[in-house]
Chains A and B, each alone.
Chain A
Amino acid sequence: MKLKPWIVAVATAVVVFGGIAVTAAFNLWRTESTKEPAKYATGEFAGQSDPGDIRGSYTFGDIESAFGVPAADLAKAFVLSDAEAATAAAFAVKSLEGRIEGVETDSVRWFVALVKGLPYTPEEGTLLPGPAISLLRAKGTLSPETLAAVEASRAQPDASHADPTTKESAAAATTASAEESTDRSIKGKTTFREILDWGVSKEALEKAIGGDMGAPGVAVRDYCTQKGIEFSTIRAELQTLIDEAE
């Protein structure tokens, strides 16, 4: 049976478009991700969403739906501008590329895994912005080893790649991260976790505040407000302990 070119042309079109039509009818034809990450199949986290399946096409809103990490937290962690943060739910993860060196889709996967306490090994070269590290530290659930690894992966914002609307945020993040890494003076937002990280023992800290510190992610000022204690007094005592620990 000899074939003429027009038969090959028609057969090709029928197979290609017929195949697409049939698979579409059975809801199998998909050209974009479903925004439903794969789940861990076995082990301790079986059934939970796997942050390793987060794709660049996901928005912060998709991540909030799948993992319960608020889009607002992601916006803060990844140094979105005020305008972008206002619509953080619609911000696509891949839009992070090129803003801060080392901070890309894999950074978001790692951050979400750390927030949710899920296993994930980031790719070599993956970094996290300072605000993301601050958020993780404030959460107070990371082990010292993990926190050290996260600190070692702190990104430096690259203003030359940044969108003009993010330059202010990037500059602020640079300033903030520089301050965070060298400044050990207690401020209103300083948490107990930070004080512990600066070398003060839990016993000495609790002796200074006169009670159980509770959750380490709580800011010292908030603790004082709750307990009705003068913040300035506690601050002075804690600062002495920090200075002695250096």
Chain B
Amino acid sequence: MTAKLKSARKVDARFITQLFFLTLIAAISVNHSLAAAGARIPFLGAASVHALCPFGGVVSIYQYVTSGTYVKKIHEASFILMYLGFGLALLFGPVFCGWVCPFGTVEEWIGKIGKKLFRKRFNTLIPAKLDRVLRYLRYVVLALVVVVTARSGQLLFANLDPYNALFAFWTGEVPRTALIVLGVVLLLSLAVERPFCKYACPYGAVQGVFNLFRIFRIRRNAATCIDCSKCDRACPMNIEVSSRTTIRDHQCISCMKCTSEDSCPVANTVALTTGKME
């Protein structure tokens, strides 16, 4: 009973945060369309989805430094969100990915349906060896997008961005290629947990680097660990938490599902912490 209550309390904080940001972005996206039609919900922003994506700041860095202008469709808000995302990542790692990103949230929640449908076969679609290699694909995507955007001044990723597609598909302005990517990712989410985050997200790739030196890290106390592997099963990014004492994996999204606050049954064994676990 106590463990169930503990688990429910801990899940709620992250669930509520994810639900809040998903609802907020969805509402602002709808309001953006309403504003374009001459009617809008008062007291609610009406920014475009591009303006609320921190990755826009990343791809615009080169153009901003060299010419003082932004890549088309990108504004100051993207830069500011980029800096805020980096600040959070320096502190806690990619909490943006695990707590804020509405697209990651949608993938995760579709994954819950997939878990119920496929049970033990969920997350086994891609063979382990191939999966290990594919985890680095998002750095290739990052490099391609940044270089091509820097050379052309055009937002190449807009043609493929499933985040924009999800929150603007009703506008008729989303490229067909992006809608296809969205459909594939959502379908894949039924069989693989967070597929876009794992294999293709360029912003996740940038955020993941911060896991090497974040101030608060996921740490495991080997002395109190009972090797039940519940942390491994709970991890949406399939990190083997039980085999490490400090998680520096570039794929960790700081969701805290592996910690004693959530799936780990032993108190003070896995935690997001500054110092060593004793």
With known contacts A5-B256, A12-B99, A16-B100, A31–B275 Cβ distance under 8 A: no
| Interface membership of A2, Cβ < 8 A | yes
Kindly supply a per-residue 1/0 record for chain B positions 25-46, scoring 1 wherever the CB is within 8 Å of any chain A CB and 0 otherwise. 0000000000000000000010
Q: Report how far A4 CA is from B10 CA in the complex, Å.
A: 8
Q: Report how far A20 CA is from B84 CA in the complex, Å.
A: 9
Contact present for B48 and A31 (CB under 8 Å):
yes
Shortest distance from the beta carbon of A99 to any chain B beta carbon, whole Å: 13
A residues within 8 A CB of B23? none
Contact present for A9 and B14 (CB under 8 Å):
yes
Contact present for A30 and B13 (CB under 8 Å):
no
| Interface membership of A203, Cβ < 8 A | no
Q: Report how far A16 CA is from B17 CA in the complex, Å.
A: 12
Contact present for B80 and A28 (CB under 8 Å):
yes
| Interface membership of B47, Cβ < 8 A | yes
Kindly supply a per-residue 1/0 record for chain B positions 236-278, scoring 1 wherever the CB is within 8 Å of any chain A CB and 0 otherwise. 0000000000000000001010000110000010011111000
Contact present for B95 and A6 (CB under 8 Å):
no
Contact present for A8 and B76 (CB under 8 Å):
no
Q: Report how far A131 CA is from B50 CA in the complex, Å.
A: 34
By beta carbon, the residue of chain B nearest A22 is: B80
Partner of B48, one of A16, A32, A38, A53: A32
Shortest distance from the beta carbon of A87 to any chain B beta carbon, whole Å: 12
Contact present for A31 and B91 (CB under 8 Å):
no
Interface size class on chain B is 35 or more
| Interface membership of B222, Cβ < 8 A | no
Kindly supply a per-residue 1/0 record for chain A positions 1-38, scoring 1 wherever the CB is within 8 Å of any chain B CB and 0 otherwise. 11111101101110110011001000011111100001
A residues within 8 A CB of B84? 15-16, 19-20
Kindly supply a per-residue 1/0 record for chain A positions 52-88, scoring 1 wherever the CB is within 8 Å of any chain B CB and 0 otherwise. 0101100000000000000000000000000000000
Contact present for B72 and A5 (CB under 8 Å):
no
Partner of B80, one of A8, A9, A11, A29: A29
B residues within 8 A CB of A38? 67-69
| Interface membership of B103, Cβ < 8 A | no
For chain A, the count of residues having a C-beta within 8 Å of the partner chain is 28
For A15, A16, A29, A55, which residue has the most chain B Cβ atoms within 10 angstroms? A16
Q: Report how far A6 CA is from B80 CA in the complex, Å.
A: 24
| Interface membership of B233, Cβ < 8 A | no
Contact present for A29 and B77 (CB under 8 Å):
yes
Partner of B75, one of A1, A4, A6, A30: A30
Residues 36-80 of B at the A interface (beta carbon under 8 Å) = 45, 47-48, 51-52, 67-69, 72-73, 75-77, 80
Partner of A8, one of B13, B173, B274: B13
For A2, A56, A94, which residue has the most chain B Cβ atoms within 10 angstroms? A2
Contact present for B17 and A12 (CB under 8 Å):
yes
Contact present for B51 and A31 (CB under 8 Å):
yes
Q: Report how far A66 CA is from B51 CA in the complex, Å.
A: 23
Q: Report how far A222 CA is from B7 CA in the complex, Å.
A: 85
Partner of B95, one of A8, A28, A31: A8
Contact present for B75 and A33 (CB under 8 Å):
yes
With known contacts A3-B216, A6-B13, A31-B47, A15–B77 Cβ distance under 8 A: no
With known contacts A38-B67, A53-B69, A2–B17 Cβ distance under 8 A: no
Contact present for A55 and B72 (CB under 8 Å):
yes
With known contacts A12-B17, A29-B76, A5–B10 Cβ distance under 8 A: yes
Contact present for B273 and A2 (CB under 8 Å):
yes
Q: Report how far A55 CA is from B155 CA in the complex, Å.
A: 12
Q: Report how far A53 CA is from B73 CA in the complex, Å.
A: 11
| Interface membership of B118, Cβ < 8 A | no
| Interface membership of B213, Cβ < 8 A | no
B residues within 8 A CB of A19? 80, 83-84, 87
A residues within 8 A CB of B268? 2
A residues within 8 A CB of B274? 1
Q: Report how far A12 CA is from B268 CA in the complex, Å.
A: 23
A residues within 8 A CB of B216? 1, 3
Shortest distance from the beta carbon of B64 to any chain A beta carbon, whole Å: 11
Contact present for B17 and A31 (CB under 8 Å):
no
A residues within 8 A CB of B140? none
Partner of B261, one of A4, A31, A55: A4
In the complex, the 4 A-B pairs of residues with the closest C-beta atoms, listed nearest first: A31-B47, A31-B51, A5-B13, A30-B76
18 A-B pairs within 8 Å (CB atoms) are namely: A2-B268, A2-B272, A3-B92, A3-B271, A5-B256, A5-B262, A9-B17, A12-B99, A13-B17, A16-B88, A19-B84, A20-B84, A29-B80, A31-B45, A31-B48, A31-B75, A32-B51, A56-B72
B interface list, Cβ under 8 A from A: 10, 13-14, 16-17, 45, 47-48, 51-52, 67-69, 72-73, 75-77, 80-81, 83-84, 87-88, 91-92, 95, 99-100, 173, 216, 254, 256, 261-262, 268, 271-275
